[in-house]
């Protein structure tokens, strides 16, 4: 036992050292933990030390220590957001009062807020170059390939009606193909925005249209309406940015739609597309029914909370209720990040969070106009922050949200650095998006289509047998 403790301490010190130097290492670990938790979907891996201690908890603590080191020993404190630090203080006040009233249950609820807040603080404490940003996006891309493999495995198991599907199957009627949960589907959504923004910015290296369609189809198949709405909002927000023409956006939609139609033809002809389309149509119809289903239940819950909130003491309205108490006296969760912020940090907390998000969007917009050479990065993070804000309307914060939020905050406090750049910035573009030559790019695209058709035919043969 002592040896394990010593090993854990050594590993933790090493992680703090690496995290303090390389934010892309933290991105890799955060997304890997998300991937591992998705694999063990019903019970994420944890260590029982009186309470279940999850990987995310330990990671958040290590990143927080790294943040403190950079703030007080590397001079990064002046580059931090006072608004975000004040929001964190309110969270700790809610934890303290909750611990006194509700005991350790307050710590259990606090862990989610702490991971989100501490990881955002960590990413704020770095200056980013184009090279570092592309390394981070490359890590995001690589982890998404593993997640894509998991999606394909689970979808194939669903289609073949294997008993293993019980481990991840969503019992909600009409959601047969939800093989990945909504929070993890966010990883697909962010990567899809990255593909879209590179198509929309004229100077950017263009990504594969086939990959763009594949991720778009995956998000549709997974049928998480919140992710649908967030992706639509993120893509649509690009039309607000200077230098991005709406006509170019529609042109890309048409091209991507044509590619998607071609890729889906085998499934249509073999009759396997019907169940997908029926399920997707059913989810789209439910999204418009505000008086019934999960949408109706959440709207009723939000209304009830706001009515009960107005009857609370003035101190609770300003600073929030203690952690672990029933928000507003309700007996169920709120399913809304913003209302949960009001519940735990009061009007003061929601004002800080709202100002924080909106100020980031405003400054990213200005940076798109002022620094056209870095437009693709500022535009991407603008779209990704809009994506996140819309997603958080019916859901709670996740650790992977902190990556986008923290980097976006850093980018508006200081310009993208050129310290690690070579002479030609296009040559430093991500290898998975930049075709080496025109011939190679075309060959790779044809190869992707051929592989997809072969996979479809093999799957069809297996199902028929």
Q: Residue 241 belongs to what domain range? A: 12-418+429-434
Phi, psi of 151 (to 5 degrees): -60, -45
CB 327 within 8 Å of CB 349? no
More confident residue, 305 or 86: 86
CA-closest candidate to residue 342, choices 328, 360, 356, 324: 328
Distance CA 465, CA 454 (A): 17
Asked if the structure places residue 451 within a domain, the reply is: no
Q: What percent of the chain has pLDDT over 90?
A: 37
Residue 439 inside a domain? The answer is no
pLDDT confidence of residue 373: 87
Domain count, the chain: 1
Residue 424 belongs to some domain of the structure: no
pLDDT digit string, tens, across residues 148-188: 999 999 888 887 878 787 777 665 655 677 888 888 999 99
Counting other chains too, the contacts that 390-394 makes at CB distance below 8 Å and 24 or more residues apart are 390/226, 390/229, 390/230, 390/233, 390/234, 391/186, 391/189, 391/226, 391/227, 391/229, 391/230, 392/336, 392/337, 392/338, 393/226, 393/336, 393/337, 393/338, 394/226, 394/298, 394/335, 394/336
307 has a pLDDT exceeding 80:
yes
Q: Is residue 46 part of a domain?
A: yes
| pLDDT tens digits for range 351-392 | 999 999 999 999 999 999 898 889 999 999 999 999 999 999
Residue 457 lies in a domain: no
- The four Cα atoms 178, 182, 186, 192 give a dihedral, to 10 degrees, of 30
Residue 181 lies in a domain: yes
- Is residue 443 domain-resident? no
The answer to whether residue 175 is domain-embedded is: yes
pTM over 0.75: yes
């Amino acid at each position: 036992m002592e040896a394990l403790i010593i090993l854990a301490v050594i590993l933790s010190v090493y992680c703090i050292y690496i995290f303090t130097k390389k934010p892309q290492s933290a991105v890799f670990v955060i997304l890997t933990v998300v991937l591992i938790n998705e694999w063990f979907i019903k019970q994420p891996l944890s260590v029982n030390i009186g309470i279940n201690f999850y990987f995310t908890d330990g990671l958040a603590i290590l990143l927080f220590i790294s943040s403190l080191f950079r703030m007080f020993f590397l001079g990064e404190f002046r580059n931090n957001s006072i608004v975000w630090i004040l929001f964190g203080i309110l969270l700790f006040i809610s934890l303290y009062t909750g611990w006194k009233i509700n005991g350790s249950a307050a710590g259990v609820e606090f862990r989610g807020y702490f991971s989100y807040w501490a990881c955002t603080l960590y990413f704020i404490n770095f200056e980013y170059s184009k090279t570092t940003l592309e390394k981070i996006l490359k890590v995001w891309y690589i982890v998404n390939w593993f997640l894509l493999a998991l999606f394909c495995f689970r979808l194939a198991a669903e289609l073949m009606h294997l008993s293993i599907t019980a481990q991840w199957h969503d019992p909600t009627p009409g959601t047969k193909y939800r093989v990945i949960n909504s929070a993890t589907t966010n990883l697909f959504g962010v990567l899809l925005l990255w593909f879209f923004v590179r198509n929309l910015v004229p100077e950017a290296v263009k990504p594969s249209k086939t990959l763009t369609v594949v991720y778009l189809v995956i998000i549709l198949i997974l049928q998480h309406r919140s992710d649908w709405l967030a992706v639509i909002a993120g893509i649509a927000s690009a039309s607000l940015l200077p230098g991005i023409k709406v006509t170019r956006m529609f042109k890309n939609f048409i091209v991507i739609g044509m590619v998607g139609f071609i890729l889906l033809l085998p499934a249509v002809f073999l009759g396997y597309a019907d169940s997908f389309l029926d399920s997707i149509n059913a989810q789209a119809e439910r999204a418009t029914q505000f008086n019934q289903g999960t949408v109706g239940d959440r709207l009723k819950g939000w209304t009830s909370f706001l009515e009960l909130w107005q009857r609370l003491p003035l101190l609770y309205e300003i600073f929030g209720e203690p952690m672990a108490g029933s928000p507003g006296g309700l007996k169920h969760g709120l399913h809304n990040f913003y209302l949960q912020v009001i519940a735990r940090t009061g009007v003061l907390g929601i004002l800080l969070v709202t100002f924080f998000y909106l100020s980031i969007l405003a400054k990213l917009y200005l940076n798109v106009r002022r620094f056209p050479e870095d437009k693709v990065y500022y535009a991407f993070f603008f779209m990704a922050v809009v994506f996140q804000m819309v997603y958080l309307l019916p859901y709670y914060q996740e650790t992977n949200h902190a990556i986008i939020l923290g980097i976006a905050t850093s980018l508006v406090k200081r310009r993208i650095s050129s310290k690690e750049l070579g002479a030609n910035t296009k040559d430093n573009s991500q290898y998975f998006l930049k075709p080496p030559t025109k011939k190679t790019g075309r060959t790779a695209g044809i190869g992707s289509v051929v592989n997809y058709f072969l996979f479809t035919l093999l799957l069809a043969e297996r199902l028929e047998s």
